[in-house]
């Protein structure tokens, strides 16, 4: 597996991609998305073929990597990027939740699934590029103020927002923005799409 080792350096490419439009503390990805090597099949299997166990297993592996990063030692909760309810109903699960559950199991912190909602049903990001991705997800997330209040009362200050793949970072950025006024934000994904292959994913 082409591991990124982003957990060993703070200002890594995942961090830089998000920091361009979001105040973020840190960001990590487990492996590089490499289509020719077949690593795109991992994401496809989890996302579209119902391979829930693989999602949790790789989430645990990512959690182990995160656990060695001293700058993420104070994480208080894991927040998966939500799907629109209709898409979740059709798929039967949210792959970001599976990954989050694996991470949270290793770190010993809760997964908070109801703090962010996806308000609009948008088309898939897969075939969009650059500014199209940003427009597609702009303003589609909202945060539940009551859930955020309860999290703050529990002493949670730093949260990890989780998704399956980071391409432009548009989805993670829009989701994290609605939480960033209340919490310090870090981000994690299984896969990281490198610049030269963005156009093909």
Cα separation, 15 vs 9, whole angstroms? 10
Q: Shortest CA distance to 159 belongs to which of 129, 186, 139, 182? A: 186
Reported confidence tier of residue 111, pLDDT bands at 50, 70, 90:
very high
pLDDT band (50, 70, 90) for residue 197: very low
Ramachandran assignment for 171, one of left (phi > 0), alpha (psi -120 to 50 degrees), beta (any other): alpha
pLDDT at position 37: 67
CA distance 185 to 63: 16
Inter-residue contact 33 to 43 (CB < 8 Å):
yes
Report pLDDT for 164: 95
pLDDT band at 134 (very low <50, low <70, confident <90, very high): low
- Contacts of residue 107, defined as CB under 8 A and 6 or more positions apart, other chains included, come to 63, 66, 67, 75, 78
Six token digits for residue 184:
């310090």
Entry pTM: 0.87
| Residue 153 host element (H or E) | helix 145-153
**Tens-digit pLDDT profile for residues 154-177:** 999 999 999 999 999 999 999 999
- Domain range annotation of the chain: 13-200
d(CA 80, CA 99): 8
Listed in sequence order, the residues at least 6 apart from 169 whose beta carbon sits closer than 8 Å to its beta carbon are 14, 17, 18, 20, 21, 22
In this structure, what are the phi and psi dihedrals at residue 151, rounded to the nearest 5 degrees? -65, -45
CA angle, 70 as apex, 67 and 71 as ends, to 5°?
110
* Architecture of the domain made up of 13-200: 3-Layer(aba) Sandwich (3.40)
Condensed to tens digits (0 to 9), the pLDDT of residues 47-79 reads 989 899 999 999 999 999 999 998 899 999 999
Confidence check: pLDDT of 198 > 90: no
Q: Read off φ and ψ for residue 123, nearest 5 degrees.
A: -70, 165
Strands 184-192 and 77-80: unpaired
């Amino acid at each position: 597996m082409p591991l990124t080792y982003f957990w060993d350096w703070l200002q890594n490419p995942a961090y830089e991609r998000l920091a361009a439009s979001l105040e973020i503390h840190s960001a990590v990805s487990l492996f590089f998305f490499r289509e020719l090597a077949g690593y795109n099949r991992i994401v496809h299997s989890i996302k579209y073929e119902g391979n829930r166990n693989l999602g949790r297993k790789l989430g645990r592996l990512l959690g182990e990597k995160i656990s060695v990063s001293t700058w993420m030692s104070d994480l208080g909760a894991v927040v998966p990027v939500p799907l629109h309810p209709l898409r979740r109903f059709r798929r039967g699960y949210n792959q970001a939740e599976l990954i989050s559950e694996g991470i949270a199991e290793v770190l010993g912190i809760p997964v908070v699934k109801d703090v962010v909602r996806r308000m609009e049903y948008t088309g898939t990001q897969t075939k969009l590029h650059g500014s199209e991705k940003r427009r597609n997800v702009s303003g589609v997330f909202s945060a539940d103020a009551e859930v955020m209040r309860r999290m703050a009362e529990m002493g949670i200050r730093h949260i990890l927002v989780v998704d399956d793949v980071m391409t432009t970072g548009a989805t993670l950025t829009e989701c994290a923005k609605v939480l960033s006024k209340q919490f310090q934000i870090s981000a994690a994904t299984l896969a990281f799409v490198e610049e030269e292959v963005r156009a093909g994913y």
